[in-house]
Structure 1
């Protein structure tokens, strides 16, 4: 997929923060003695274990789709599966053959279907798009989607 030009700004990120407030944790900034002056955002404490839940939650807010499809190597798929379960919407995550089997197990444990495809990320994305078009499902990409990007940007607030 080619990156789309965007006109996202701070107002979009703030609007995303309002939309996802009930679906994400407010994670702390962590100081490290070994790196004075540097703060780390504790997104490992997020519901899904990564910041990806922010983008998925924003893109899926108010969704009325009958099904959701996402291409993912793991963290985005976990986030989409978690949000899909909360919304009561079936999710299919398309994963490349080399993606983590541990992350696949987590995605399945959240109730999503996993479809493995040969090839890498480009093939995974092509197959996810084709599946969404064929079934009429909502495609929630892991990047290059304004709502996903705005949601992920909330980590900076």
Structure 2
């Protein structure tokens, strides 16, 4: 697993699609009549909320575990797999491991909402709470890898994980070959990097736009600094976009820098309004991290008139309490 993510190409994404077939689904891409009229463009919604675990993370986790089984065999994974997560990746690892009959441990910081921890435990994984950041959770992961011989399934910084997320890019290009822009949440870079790698290989003219939180955006701050940096995590409606990228990041930092064309940061009120808009007009409940594409369109007034735009609705792990908070913040 020493390949650079920058070397991940179409063959890797197609191999990932073969491995995840029957375990992750090809998600719908639908046209939003309300948003298309609002922006005078073709606004297309990629519903990763339709995955069995409710988020795109199932693609990358399933691809990596399946690939390791192919390469190393079941005995090599007998001690189980382990990861750290802000929620969705942990649920994906738990689901994939349970499907393949492998023990799983998911380490979560205390900032991860309880409903996400409960969803992971319900899939049969052991949940371990540790520290106040994802970096602290990863310290526990490292200990279990070194002392117990468990196998790490990273949430983003691995070629196999990125290739799994890249299968979204394959689907987008097959459904809309002349797509003008993809707007996608940016955190660790696995989702944007994977989609960008696949899309750019097929249609270099398609614009890849990243959207981060206005505070605690590790990848955005790292790109600005020119190298990975640590940032303080903050509570947010878009909590799935929290967490660091790792000071020793070996994959996604370089990949995001290569494939992302532009980037925007969005405020909490903009995320809240976007969540409520999607619920009201699309009748779908999405988490804050999934709404940041729409938030960027509105808050930054992006000029998309006449274009075909895909928004990646990355997950639906949101509690009713969080929805109430979003509605109050949006004044609706």
Indicate the structure (1 or 2) with the bigger Cα radius of gyration. Answer: 2
Deviation at 1:5, TM superposition (A): 5.3
**Alignment partner, residue 17 of structure 1:** 17
Deviation at 1:130, TM superposition (A): 2.0
Alignment partners' CA distance in 2, 1:110 and 1:139: 18
Query: TM-score w.r.t. structure 2 length?
Result: 0.45
Alignment partners' CA distance in 1, 2:121 and 2:129: 12
Cα contact 2:5–2:162 (8 A) shared by 1 = no
Deviation at 1:57, TM superposition (A): 0.4
Select 2:63's aligned residue among 50, 58, 63.
58
Q: Which has the higher helix share?
A: 2
User: Kindly tell me: are residues 52 and 31 of structure 1, through their superposed partners in 2, closer, same or farther at Cα, counting changes over 3 Å?
Assistant: same
Deviation at 1:34, TM superposition (A): 2.3
Q: Which runs of 4+ in 1 moved over 4 A?
A: none
Alignment partners' CA distance in 1, 2:153 and 2:63: 10
Q: Deviations over 1:98-154 (max 9, x none)?
A: 111101111111111011001201111222122122111110010111100100111
Alignment partners' CA distance in 1, 2:5 and 2:27: 30
**Alignment partner, residue 142 of structure 2:** 129
Aligned residues: 154
Greater RCO between the two (CA within 8 Å, min separation 6)? 1
SS class of match (1:38): strand
Q: 5+ residue gaps in structure 1?
A: none
Q: Does residue 32 of structure 2 align to residue 32 of structure 1?
A: yes
Query: TM-score w.r.t. structure 1 length?
Result: 0.93
Select 2:128's aligned residue among 108, 115, 119.
115
SS class of match (2:33): coil
Q: Deviations over 1:18-56 (max 9, x none)?
A: 111121111110111122212111110111100000000
Alignment partners' CA distance in 1, 2:128 and 2:33: 43
User: Kindly tell me: are residues 5 and 150 of structure 1, through their superposed partners in 2, closer, same or farther at Cα, counting changes over 3 Å?
Assistant: closer
User: Kindly tell me: are residues 8 and 139 of structure 1, through their superposed partners in 2, closer, same or farther at Cα, counting changes over 3 Å?
Assistant: same
More moved, 61-70 vs 87-96:
61-70
Q: 5+ residue gaps in structure 2?
A: 37-41, 171-332
